[in-house]
């Protein structure tokens, strides 16, 4: 992973001092809440229903074991002993006191992590493939460019008070595991004539007006990455709407102008700055590339005998089938740790679990951990021969539920249990669903199925791109849930279709189960996935059964 240099560390110390001063001025009444709000937000501090929430930035989802231990320590010292991993590869602490925030920040800065730009109308944490650097299907490691963007976007003097938040995601693999088409800017790294560059998409996003990003450039050479992003951001900063918070994202600007007109404006702006100080020549890229320490992987053979033996155990085989992914290096594997045990809030980890995972990362995975946007953790460098031993230890700490990519691997926002924006509680619905779909053999038979839950139209739980999406709404002071079908977040991203009237909390699990049963009845074979069946059949047969009289 990228190792901070003296410059990065000195910058971060300055940030800690600045924030401490701002909190002191707030507590002394020199700053009113309106003035303080954007300052705290820029440090990841929200005021939630019951307490302040601190969202800590995990740049492109990459953590060292030491950093994970520091997060565990913060969870214990300042919070209630757990943290919540988010869809943007960050972690949230829900019960921090304002007066203690500067100390928590200072503790995190010791291991060079922070809350900078995890909130506010600025450029947020750039997210990427949690398997970056390890995935068998990637063209090149996208983390270099994510780090380049991190540095450029950190406290950018021009783009810190944008019309609205701005999220960039980047992928370099055939399969998009970063949901780039539902980001304000999506970057797909690819090669043309041996040169590295990017397909640039703009204006994707979820929320109350979901859009799939539009490609405005097929190939942007790597050296032009920052000048092109600056041109996009400037076009947005000057022209994006500020009259209505719900119309302020770049997706609305792109939609209202038309992607072509937007692209022309960006290209005209870019022509003015492309040969300026932002040019990423080899020296500029190498200075950052050289600070990535990547593990020296051993020369191993695929499918070692010990693994073959272990696969005879059906429990291990089931976990292996959905939690272990192919690696670019022979004899290695990528392991996903499910943070979706039956009956628990999706994406939560206790301080003890974090410490234990850090130890296991040190012992088995070169001390590196990734956060995946599905709210799971990943160990990207595991020797295949170690898989059986690792599995046993992961099981012992409750992070080896064999449900990765399956129906109970639910993405959910914190919902009305924590969030002041929510209309409904997401977590109890997720918990009930995991209980209904608790049988490992049954969910394996159902196969790949993404179920996403948002507690309000802001769509933090990405319900629009769930194969099954659940959206909490309020009707006459009661929580109801709309169900969408057929959404996808990958390279063929599409927005799910609403199948009918919202149902009560008591009904939602039954409706989901009927959708699943419909699929099981109608699939051509177990090889046809849920989403493939929805696409083949359309939503009608599902609607009929979902709302069947009971």
Partner 1 sequence: MPLVKNGAPAEDIFTAVADDAALPDGPVLVSAERFLKEADTLVARNDEIGVLWPNARDVAELKPYLSRLSVVALTFPKFRDGRAYSQARLLRERYGFKGELRAVGNVLRDQALMMARAGFDAFAFEKAADAEAFNKALATYSHFYQPTGDGRATARDVRVAHAGPAPVEG
Q: Which is nearer to partner 1, 14 or 478 (CB)?
A: 14
Binding to partner 1 in span 218-277, by CB under 8 A: 234, 237-238, 242, 272, 276-277
Q: Taking contact as CB under 8 A, which single stretch among the options 68-76, 282-290, 513-521, 530-538 is the one that binds partner 1?
A: 282-290
- 350 interacts with partner 1 by CB under 8 A: no
Q: Which is nearer to partner 1, 254 or 451 (CB)?
A: 254
Cα torsion 116, 118, 119, 121 to 10°: value is 80
Q: Which is nearer to partner 1, 270 or 437 (CB)?
A: 270
Binding to partner 1 in span 66-85, by CB under 8 A: 66
Helix (H) or strand (E) holding 443: helix 440-446
Contact 280, 223 (CB under 8 A): yes
Helix (H) or strand (E) holding 431: helix 426-436
Cβ neighbour number for residue 399 with a 10 Å cutoff: 22
Using CB under 8 A, pick the residue from 130, 133, 346, 367 that binds partner 1: 367
Q: How far is the CB of 160 from partner 1 (least distance, A)?
A: 6
Max Cα distance, the chain (Å) = 68
* Number of chain residues interacting with partner 1 (CB under 8 A): 49
The closest of 295, 328, 290, 321 to 307, measured between CA atoms, is 321
DSSP-assigned beta bridge partners for residue 123 = 166
Using CB under 8 A, pick the residue from 106, 155, 444, 520 that binds partner 1: 155
Question: What is the DSSP track for 239-292?
Answer: HS--S-GGG-SHHHHHHHH-HHHHHHHHHHHHHHHTTSTT---HHHHHHHHTTB
Distances (CA, A) of 471 to 229, 350, 378, 435, 457: 33, 27, 27, 19, 7
Q: Taking contact as CB under 8 A, which single stretch among the options 46-54, 279-287, 476-484, 520-528 is the one that binds partner 1?
A: 279-287
- 154 interacts with partner 1 by CB under 8 A: yes
Q: How far is the CB of 13 from partner 1 (least distance, A)?
A: 9
How many whole angstroms separate alpha carbon 104 and alpha carbon 239?
Answer: 38
Q: Taking contact as CB under 8 A, which single stretch among the options 257-265, 288-296, 420-428, 518-526 is the one that binds partner 1?
A: 288-296
Q: At what angle do helices 351-364 and 387-396 cross, to 10 degrees?
A: 170
Q: Which is nearer to partner 1, 4 or 547 (CB)?
A: 4
Q: Taking contact as CB under 8 A, which single stretch among the options 17-25, 52-60, 100-108, 188-196 is the one that binds partner 1?
A: 17-25
Q: How far is the CB of 215 from partner 1 (least distance, A)?
A: 25
- 156 interacts with partner 1 by CB under 8 A: yes
Q: How far is the CB of 124 from partner 1 (least distance, A)?
A: 15
Q: How far is the CB of 232 from partner 1 (least distance, A)?
A: 12
Contact 399, 340 (CB under 8 A): no
Q: Which is nearer to partner 1, 3 or 303 (CB)?
A: 3
Distances (CA, A) of 307 to 332, 379, 382, 399, 458: 11, 18, 13, 20, 44
Q: Checking DSSP bridges between strand 82-85 and strand 214-221, what pairing results, if any?
A: unpaired
Looking up tokens 């990228």 gives: 2
Binding mask 18-57 for partner 1 (x = CB under 8 A): x---x-------x----x--xx------------------
- 293 interacts with partner 1 by CB under 8 A: yes
Length of the chain: 550
The closest of 148, 140, 146 to 288, measured between CA atoms, is 148
Using CB under 8 A, pick the residue from 159, 381, 437, 530 that binds partner 1: 159
Structure tokens at 110: 């010791």
Q: Which is nearer to partner 1, 158 or 521 (CB)?
A: 158
Q: Which is nearer to partner 1, 286 or 439 (CB)?
A: 286
Binding site for partner 1 (CB under 8 A): 3-8, 10-11, 14-15, 17-18, 22, 30, 35, 38-39, 64, 66, 111-112, 121, 151-162, 234, 237-238, 242, 272, 276-278, 283-284, 287, 290-291, 293, 367
């Amino acid at each position: 992973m990228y190792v901070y240099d003296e410059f990065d560390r000195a910058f971060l110390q300055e940030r800690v001092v600045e924030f401490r001063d701002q909190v002191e001025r707030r507590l002394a009444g020199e700053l009113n809440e309106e003035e303080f709000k954007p300052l705290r937000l820029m440090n990841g501090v929200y005021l939630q229903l019951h307490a302040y929430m601190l969202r800590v930035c995990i740049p492109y989802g990459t953590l060292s074991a030491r950093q994970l231990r520091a997060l565990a320590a913060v969870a214990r010292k300042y919070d209630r002993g757990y943290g919540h991993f988010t869809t943007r590869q960050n972690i949230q602490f829900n019960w921090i006191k304002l007066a203690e925030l500067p100390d928590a920040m200072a503790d995190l800065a010791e291991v060079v992590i922070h809350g900078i730009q995890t909130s506010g109308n600025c450029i947020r944490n750039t997210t990427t493939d949690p398997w970056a650097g390890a995935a068998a299907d990637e063209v090149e490691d996208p983390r270099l460019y994510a780090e380049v963007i991190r540095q450029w976007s950190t406290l950018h003097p021009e783009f810190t008070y944008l019309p609205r938040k701005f999220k960039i995601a980047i992928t370099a693999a055939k399969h998009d595991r970063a949901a780039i088409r539902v980001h304000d800017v999506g970057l797909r790294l690819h090669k043309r004539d041996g040169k590295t560059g990017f397909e640039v998409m703009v204006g994707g996003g979820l929320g109350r007006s979901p859009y799939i990003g539009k490609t405005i450039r097929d190939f942007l050479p790597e050296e032009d990455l920052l000048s092109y992003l600056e041109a996009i951001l400037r076009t947005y900063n000057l022209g994006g709407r500020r009259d209505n918070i719900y119309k302020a994202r770049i997706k609305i600007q792109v939609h209202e102008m038309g992607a072509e007109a937007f692209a022309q404006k960006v290209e005209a702006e870019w022509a003015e700055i492309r040969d300026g100080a932002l040019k990423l020549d080899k020296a500029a890229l190498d200075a950052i590339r050289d600070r990535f320490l990547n593990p020296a992987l051993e020369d191993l053979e695929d499918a070692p005998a010990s693994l073959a033996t272990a696969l005879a155990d059906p429990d291990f085989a089931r976990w292996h089938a959905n939690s272990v992914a192919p690696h670019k290096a022979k004899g290695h594997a990528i392991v996903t740790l499910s943070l979706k045990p039956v009956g628990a809030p999706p994406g939560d980890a206790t301080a003890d679990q974090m410490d234990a995972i850090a130890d296991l990362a040190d012992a088995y995975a070169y001390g590196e951990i990734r956060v995946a946007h599905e709210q799971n953790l990943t160990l990207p460098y595991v020797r295949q021969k170690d898989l059986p031993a690792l599995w046993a230890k992961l099981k012992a700490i409750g992070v080896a539920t064999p449900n990765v990519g399956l129906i109970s691997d639910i993405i959910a926002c914190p919902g009305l249990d924590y969030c002041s924006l929510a209309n409904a509680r997401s977590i109890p619905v997720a918990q009930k669903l995991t209980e209904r779909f608790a049988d490992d053999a049954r969910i394996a038979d159902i196969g790949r199925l993404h179920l996403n839950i948002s507690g309000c139209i802001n769509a933090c739980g990405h319900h629009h791109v769930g194969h099954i999406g659940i959206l909490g709404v309020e009707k006459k002071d009661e929580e109801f849930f709309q169900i969408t079908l057929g959404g996808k977040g990958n390279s063929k991203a599409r927005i799910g279709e609403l199948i009918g009237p919202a149902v009560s909390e008591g009904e939602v699990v039954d409706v989901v189960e009927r959708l699943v049963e419909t699929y099981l009845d109608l699939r051509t074979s177990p090889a046809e996935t849920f989403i493939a069946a929805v696409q083949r059949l359309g939503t009608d047969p599902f609607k009929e059964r979902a709302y069947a009289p009971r």
